[in-house]
Structure 1
C-alpha cells in the first residue's frame, strides 16, 4: 500500500487541529473567500458543518470556482438554492480522510449528498436536493496518482488536492483545484459520455424515466460500436424486446464500483432488472459481464454507477462466455451483423461542452470539467461579482 503526505503543513496543521471549521475557513479566506460566501447563503448547512464530527471538507479554491463559471452550461443555469445545497454537500465526505489515507487504488467515499442521518434538519436538506439516490450517500472517488491526490466525480471529472491536511476539531480539510461535478442521472450521463446509441435506445424503449428513477444500480452500458456490431438485428426489435434487452444490462439494488467488480462481486451471478442473471467474472486483470468486456469503469451517476462494455448483452443467451485472449468478443446475438451506421442515434445529439467519459480510461487522465448537475450556482456567483473572480 502506497501512502503519501501531500504538501504537509507541519506545526501549522497541528495547530489548526485545535480550531473549529469556521475558524479554519476564516484563516484561509484569501484562498476560500468564494466558498465562505456561498456557505453564508446556506446558514443551515454552515451550522451543521460547524458542529459535525469526523468529516472531510473538499474545499474548492477561488480559482476553482472562477474556472467553474466559465463553462457555458453554468453560465446559462438559473439560480437554485436547493441545488447549491446539494453541490456543497457533495464536497463533504462522511469520514475523516487525511492525505495519507488515499492510496494508488481508487476508493469510493460516501459524501453527505443523499445521506440520511439522525439530524432532522439534515434529512430535510437531503429531501430538497433530489440529486442522489444511492444508499449511504453519493460517492467521490479518491486515488493517488504520482505524488498527488486526485478526486473523481461525475463524468469522470478530476480534481487535484492542492493543499492537504488542514486539520480542525471536526476533521480535515483539503483545498482542491476544481469544483466537483455532481453526478447526473443515467440518461443524461449517457449523452454527456457520448453513448448516444444507449441514450437513443432508452428513449425508443420509453425507459429514460424508469432507469433514472431506480435506486442503487449498476448499469453496463454498451458502447456505440457494440450497438453497431448488432445493427442488422435492431430494426426487427419490438419496443418490448428492446426494453427487455436494456433492462438486462441493469443490476438493481447493488452499486458495483470497479473495486468490487474485481473482488467482492467477481465470479458471481446477479439478477437484472429484466429478470435474468448476468455473470461477473474477473480474468487476467479484465472484467467480463457474460461475454462482454468492461472497457471503461466508474462513470458515477445519480443513482449508482455505469460501466461501458464492448458488447450488447442478450438475455436469451445468458450463458455466453468470454474469450479473455480475444481483442473483440463475438456478438451475443446469433446471425447479427454490423451496420454501416450506429443504430438508435437518429436525432440524438450529445453535448459538445460536456466532459466525455467515454473517451477517458478508467481512473486515468483528466476530463474537462463540465459542471453538469451543478445548476443554480452561477446566478449566486454573478451576484457576488468581483468577490468571486
Structure 2
C-alpha cells in the first residue's frame, strides 16, 4: 500500500464506487452512505480515499460506536488540493496510513446536530471518533469547534486554529447527514506545537525551565490559561527572578486538571480549582471574559489534551482576589515590583532543535536558543517525523516522548471499519 500514491488509489476506488452506486440506484435501494457519497461529483477524492482504507481493520472490534455515527464532515475535491500548503503535507506525501486514518477519523462526528439547528454566534464543541490516546488525551473523543457566523456562514475550527467553511449542508443518508467542507480538518496538536503556532513561547519556556512540560502535556482533559508573551514581558524581574519552586507554583495556577472547559462553560462567578491548589474566578463584563483580573484575549484553542485560553496577564496565586477594571483595555500586572523587560523571559530555556549554532556545550543544556523569539523546530502536524523523533536534543526527546499529540504511534484504527457500513 505504501508503495502506491494515496491519490491514485483513491481515484481508482472512486471509479469502482460509481459503478456500484449506479447498480444500487437501479435496484431502488435506500440511500446509504456509500450511495450518497459516490453520487456527489465533488466528493470523489474523499470517497475514494475511505474506500481504500476500508480494509484497515474490522468495523466493530475497534469502533462499536459506529452504530451511533450521525454526521460526517466530507472535504470536497478542492480541499485535497490544499494539502501541500498544510501541516498534513508530509503524511499524505508519504502515504502514511496511520496518520491519514487518524485524520479521517477526526472528520467523523458523534451526535446529530444539523447546520440548520445552529444559532449564530454560539460555538458548539462536537466530539469525534478520534479517541485513540496516541492522538487524543480527551475523554469521549477529540472535539471540533462549530460556529455559525453572520450571513449564515458555518465554520469548523480544528487544531492549530485551522478553519474551514461549510459549502454544502445536511446531505441526508440512512442514519445521519454529511456536511461538505472546503478544507481538511487538522487534529489538535501537542502543547509545544500549539504554543509555537500561537507564539506562546514565554509560557512554553517557563514550563521547560521548571521541568513541568511533561506534566502539563500528559494531563488528560485539561484547561490551560496561557498568558501571552506581552503578559510575561510586562512583569520583568518580578517573575524572571523567581525560584524554580515559586515559578512552578505560578504555572500550576494556570492549569485546571481533569476538566475541559470551553468558553461556553466559563460561567460568571464560577470558582475553579487549579493544579496549584488555589481557585481562580471567572468574571463576565459585557462581551469580555476574565479569569481573576486577566482578560481572555483568545479562547478555545484546541490541543491534544484539552483546550487553551490565551490571557493578557500572568495569574498570581498569592493574589486570587484580583479584580479586573472593564473600563480599561489592558489590565495591570498583579505582581509586586513588576517592570517591563526589554527581552522576553524564559525563551532561552527552550532547547534548540534546528539551525542551531555550533557550540562546545550540548544542546541538551537548553541554552541553544538566543534572542526573544524562542524559536525551535516544529514538525508538520500529523507527520511521523514529529518533534519527538526529529529532535537533535535529548532533552526535548525526553520531555516530549510521552507528550500526547500528533505523532504516529503505530495506530491502525478503524476508519476502514467505518466505511464497511457503506456497502
Give the alignment partner of residue 106 of structure 1, picking from 95, 110, 123: 123
Write the distance in 1 (CA, Å) between the matches of 2:31 and 2:212. Answer: 50
User: Rg larger in 1 or in 2?
Assistant: 2
Distance 1:44 1:73 in 2: 20
1:26 aligns with 2:38: yes
Take 1:189 and 1:34, find their aligned partners in 2: how far apart are those partners? Answer: 27
> Greater shift after overlay, 71-80 or 341-350?
71-80
TM-score under structure 1 length normalisation? 0.78
* Structure 1 residue 103, shift from structure 2 partner: 2.1
Q: Distance in 1 between matches of 2:50 and 2:408?
A: 14
Q: Which residue of 1 aligns with 2:80?
A: 65
CA distance in 1, matches of 2:260, 2:85: 33
Task: Please tell me whether the aligned partners of residues 244 and 274 of structure 1 are also in contact (alpha carbons under 8 angstroms).
Answer: yes
What is the match of residue 75 of structure 1? 90
- Change over 3 Å in CA distance of 1:318–1:30 after alignment to 2: closer
Residue 67 of structure 2 corresponds to 52
Q: Unaligned regions of 5+ residues in structure 2, if any?
A: 1-24, 349-368, 382-404, 410-423
State the alpha-carbon separation in 2 of the partners of residues 354 and 228 from structure 1. 29
| Number of the residue aligned with 2:139 | 135
2:344 aligned partner:
342
Q: Relative to 1, partners in 2 of residues 1:353 and 1:132: Cα closer, same or farther, differing over 3 Å? A: closer
User: Does the C-alpha gap of structure 1 residues 39 and 251 become closer, same or farther in structure 2, counting only changes over 3 Å?
Assistant: farther
- Where 1:187 maps in the other structure, the secondary structure is helix
Out of 38-47 and 341-350, give the one that drifted further. Answer: 38-47
Of 184, 198, 204, the match for 1:199: 204
**Any conservation in 1 of the 2:300–2:307 contact (CA below 8 Å)?**
yes
What is the distance in 1 between the residues matched to 2:40 and 2:143?
26
Q: Could you tell me which residue of structure 2 aligns to residue 286 of structure 1?
A: 288
Flag structure 1 segments of 5+ consecutive residues without an equivalent: 1-14, 115-125, 356-371, 377-389
Q: 1:354 to 1:311 in 2, by over 3 A?
A: farther
Separation in 1 of the partners of 2:284 and 2:312? Answer: 15
Q: Secondary structure of the residue that 2:137 maps to in structure 1? A: coil
Deviations along 1:118-157, one digit per CA (max 9) or x if unpaired, are xxxxxxxx35xx1111122111111112222111111221
Confirm or deny: 8 A CA contact 2:53 2:101 kept in the other structure: no
User: 1:40-189 to 2 correspondence within 5 Å?
Assistant: 40-44=52-56, 47=59, 52-71=67-86, 74-75=89-90, 80-104=96-120, 105-114=122-131, 126=132, 130-145=134-149, 146-189=151-194
- Paired residues of 2:43 and 2:74 also in contact (CA < 8 A): no
- Contact 1:25–1:36 (8 Å) recurs in 2: no
2:221 pairs with 1:251: no
Alignment correspondent of 1:297:
299
Q: Secondary structure at the match of 1:181?
A: coil
Residue pair 1:84, 1:374 contacting (<8 A) in 2 also: no
Where do residues 194-233 of structure 1 align in structure 2 (5 Å cutoff)?
194-233=199-238
Give the match's secondary structure for 2:347.
Answer: coil
Distance in 2 separating the partners of 1:171 and 1:301: 27
- 1-structure distance, mates of 2:312, 2:246: 20
Write the distance in 1 (CA, Å) between the matches of 2:58 and 2:161: 28
CA RMSD of aligned residues (A): 2.8
Distance 1:302 1:22, change over 3 A: same
